[in-house]
Chains A and B, each alone.
Chain A
Amino acid sequence: MHDLLGNLALGFHVAATPYNLLFCLIGALVGTLIGVLPGIGSVATIAMLLPITFGLPPVGALIMLAGIYYGAQYGGSTTSILVNIPGEATSVVTTLDGFQMAKQGRAGPALAIAAIGSFFAGCVATVLVAALGAPLTSAALLFGPAEYFSLMVLGLIFAVVLAKGSLIKALAMILAGLLMSMVGSDLETGVGRMTFDVPELSDGIGFVTVAMGVFGFAEIIRNLEGSAEDRSIVQAKVTGLMPTRKDLIDSAGAIGRGTIIGSILGILPGGGAVIASFAAYTFEKRFAKRPERFGNGAIEGVAAPESANNAAAQTAFIPLLTLGIPPNAVMALMVGAMTIHGIVPGPQVMTKQPELFWGMITSMWLGNLMLVVINLPLVGVWVSLLRVPYRLLYPAILVFCYIGIYSINNAPADVVIAAVFGVLGYLLVKHEFEPAPLILGFVLGPLMEENLRRAMLIARGDVTVFITRPISGTLIGIAVLLLVLAGLPMLRKRREEVFVE
């Protein structure tokens, strides 16, 4: 406990420097902005901004990127409530009751409760990350290559099981990602693999290039297909921000439950904020005394999912910072960001760079505070921003992407490679393949190969090592169990229910 306080104090010391406060503010603002704008996700934005962080100090860069992530969870609610379009996938369920509240002239309380809920969840999750960081890090020391490999397998399986749509397609996407990550020089021998003697490929395909293509470009191509009509805005009057006493009492329980559900689902690999918000809403509705109120402007229907997605967004950092394993696509991008700065994500971050670790954690709390303070007065600004037509927005995003990709290596070829991945991403969406598992596989590929190689070498070629070592065997066991459960028809039906939008 004493350690925890000491560590948090160190964190505040780092996070509260003027520069880092500024980065935190920028991150939170940018995050809110993209959260508000439908069609630009946090994954795409973080991918776009990765190259920019190159010139920043590592702590500042990571604080800013983290801010974008949780800021986006937050901003998404504004669009959901005011316009009935989820700004982010995590805010889909918020539209159900949030927009109803707005129609009844209660947009103010809805926004305020979303803010308060998010802030509360953010605070709890920050403490949780700080508290769980140390024990999990020491657990990580028990991990050998076999355990790491098995853990990554489990993480990928989690991502597959909880992803939307077909299991086998998601598995195939992971394999495709793993395969693509093999392009480039072999780590041990330095032989070029699948490079066709193209010099641009000898360093491998850049992660940012793939992410920007598959998410950024593909998303824009996809959006251009849709008509302009879904961007029309219902001009909701935002009057009387403050929720009533009754609102607060009604939503207090929902905020608490949402926070718990979100925190748990965020830690689990592959869980993440989207599932958390769905789960929290479903939970509230199922256990409510009068479930018929949901969908007609029940304030709990805003409070629970908004708390849950914020909590999950933050606890998702736990596996990344302690085990070095990204539980979702955004965290995979954070790995990219850390690697750019020469930081290897994993248990050693906490011991070797305590100021980075704790600085980032405390910045999350500060960031959440900033979000509450900046967002309530800014609601009007966000609403007017939604009037920028997409026909002007998309070329700007594109050009920004081009320069961003080009700036990483000053290599025009990278931009073209991203274009290839953009078209690929578009085709994937058209055939209902999810691109997120592909990215996760792409990031984990080199790590998995390395650990697989080492494990096999240590075990002298004995494949059973993954099952006979206790920790590794347990992890593989859970992974298999999950796959079997997800394959069962009953559960599959459940999954579909959860994702009916």
Chain B
Amino acid sequence: MSDEANAPTGARSLGVIRNPQDFYGGLALCALSLFAFWASDDLPGMRGFSFGPGTAPRIFAGVLLAFGVVITAMGFLTQGKPLERYAIRGPFWITVSIIVFANTVRPLGLVFATFVSFMISGLASPETRWVETTIAGVLMTALCVLLFVQLLALPFQLWPRF
């Protein structure tokens, strides 16, 4: 919300923002707090002196907003490190791997989900060697089946359901 609205101006006046880590971090906190205010908008608040469901979330969100504003302000007042570059490859492939696991573990079973998400997560690192990773994936899948299904007797579907 406010993050997006303020980001372009922030980028243009980079000379003013002396501590970008704090500046953008603070903005994100403000955004989170405003989002919480909006999300808890429908909850009833105080009735007399007893708390309603919405009271505590709004108290916490309010204090968080105050901190967010201060931290954003610190972005102007203090000298800090420049923003670090975000890695894209790692987070991206790990997220893909997670989503694939979440969507395959029910319909296709644990064996398939484990092996495939193992291989996909291998894409996250440039150092991966595929033959080695494939062998490790097979071993890991076997280990997981042994540990979770055989030893711990968790009720998992192993193979695809037809």
Please, what's the 1-or-0 string for A208-234, where 1 marks a CB less than 8 Å from any CB in chain B? 000000000100110011001000000
Report the nearest A residue to B93, measured CB to CB. A224
Name the one of B94, B114, B118, B125 contacting A391, with C-beta atoms under 8 angstroms.
Answer: B125
Q: Which residues of B contact A433 (CB under 8 A)?
A: 25
Q: Which residues of B contact A462 (CB under 8 A)?
A: 49
Q: Do the beta carbons of B29 and A172 come within 8 Å of each other?
A: yes
Q: Which residues of B contact A392 (CB under 8 A)?
A: 132-133, 136
Report the nearest B residue to A170, measured CB to CB. B67
Name the distance in Å between B47's Cβ and chain A's nearest Cβ: 11
Report the nearest B residue to A462, measured CB to CB. B49
Would A453 and B64 be within 8 Å (CB), given that A193-B43, A399-B118, A431-B21 are in contact?
no
Q: Do the beta carbons of B43 and A395 come within 8 Å of each other?
A: no
Cβ of A65 within 8 Å of any chain B Cβ, yes or no, is no
Name the distance in Å between A161's Cβ and chain B's nearest Cβ: 16
Tell me which residues from 112 to 141 in chain B have a Cβ below 8 Å from any Cβ of chain A: 113-114, 117-119, 121-122, 124-125, 127-129, 132-133, 136-137, 140
Name the one of A55, A169, A418, A445 contacting B25, with C-beta atoms under 8 angstroms.
Answer: A169
Tell me which residues from 39 to 54 in chain B have a Cβ below 8 Å from any Cβ of chain A: 39-40, 43-44, 48-54
Report the Cα distance A430→B113, complex, angstroms. 31
Report the Cα distance A394→B54, complex, angstroms. 41
Cβ of A142 within 8 Å of any chain B Cβ, yes or no, is no
Tell me which residues from 250 to 293 in chain A have a Cβ below 8 Å from any Cβ of chain B: none
Tell me which residues from 369 to 401 in chain A have a Cβ below 8 Å from any Cβ of chain B: 389-392, 394-396, 398-400
Cβ of B158 within 8 Å of any chain A Cβ, yes or no, is no
Name the one of B54, B64, B70, B98 contacting A176, with C-beta atoms under 8 angstroms.
Answer: B64
Give the dominant DSSP class at A's interface. Answer: helix
Q: Which residues of B contact A418 (CB under 8 A)?
A: 98
Q: Do the beta carbons of B91 and A461 come within 8 Å of each other?
A: no
Q: Do the beta carbons of A172 and B68 come within 8 Å of each other?
A: yes
Q: Which residues of B contact A175 (CB under 8 A)?
A: 60, 63-64, 67
Q: Do the beta carbons of A186 and B53 come within 8 Å of each other?
A: yes
Cβ of A412 within 8 Å of any chain B Cβ, yes or no, is yes
Would A415 and B98 be within 8 Å (CB), given that A400-B144, A402-B117 are in contact?
yes
Q: Do the beta carbons of A399 and B133 come within 8 Å of each other?
A: no
Name the one of B56, B70, B117, B122 contacting A449, with C-beta atoms under 8 angstroms.
Answer: B56
Name the distance in Å between B35's Cβ and chain A's nearest Cβ: 9
Most buried by B among A395, A400, A453: A395
Q: Do the beta carbons of B56 and A182 come within 8 Å of each other?
A: yes
Give the dominant DSSP class at B's interface. Answer: helix
Would A193 and B40 be within 8 Å (CB), given that A221-B91, A461-B48 are in contact?
yes
Chain A residues bordering chain B, tally (CB within 8 A): 63
Q: Do the beta carbons of A395 and B68 come within 8 Å of each other?
A: no
Q: Do the beta carbons of A395 and B53 come within 8 Å of each other?
A: no
Q: Do the beta carbons of A179 and B60 come within 8 Å of each other?
A: yes
Q: Do the beta carbons of A220 and B64 come within 8 Å of each other?
A: no
Q: Which residues of A contact B99 (CB under 8 A)?
A: 416, 419
Report the nearest A residue to B59, measured CB to CB. A452
Would A453 and B56 be within 8 Å (CB), given that A168-B67, A221-B94 are in contact?
yes
Name the distance in Å between A292's Cβ and chain B's nearest Cβ: 33
Report the nearest B residue to A187, measured CB to CB. B53
Q: Do the beta carbons of B86 and A168 come within 8 Å of each other?
A: no
Q: Do the beta carbons of B94 and A220 come within 8 Å of each other?
A: yes
Q: Which residues of A contact B113 (CB under 8 A)?
A: 402
Name the distance in Å between B44's Cβ and chain A's nearest Cβ: 8
Report the Cα distance A196→B119, complex, angstroms. 34
Q: Which residues of B contact A169 (CB under 8 A)?
A: 22, 25, 71
Q: Which residues of A contact B9 (CB under 8 A)?
A: none
Q: Do the beta carbons of B114 and A403 come within 8 Å of each other?
A: yes
Q: Do the beta carbons of B132 and A403 come within 8 Å of each other?
A: no
Name the one of A166, A178, A225, A426 contacting B60, with C-beta atoms under 8 angstroms.
Answer: A178
Cβ of B15 within 8 Å of any chain A Cβ, yes or no, is no
Q: Which residues of A contact B97 (CB under 8 A)?
A: 398
Interface residues of B (CB under 8 A from A): 21-22, 24-25, 28-29, 32-33, 36, 39-40, 43-44, 48-54, 56-57, 60-61, 63-64, 67-68, 70-71, 74, 81, 83-84, 86-87, 89-91, 94-95, 97-99, 101-103, 105-106, 110, 113-114, 117-119, 121-122, 124-125, 127-129, 132-133, 136-137, 140, 144, 148, 152-156
- A-B residue pairs, 10 tightest by C-beta: A461-B49, A186-B53, A412-B102, A172-B67, A431-B25, A175-B64, A224-B90, A419-B98, A194-B39, A182-B57
Further pairs besides A171-B67, A395-B118, A406-B102: 4, Cβ < 8 Å: A179-B61, A186-B53, A403-B144, A413-B102
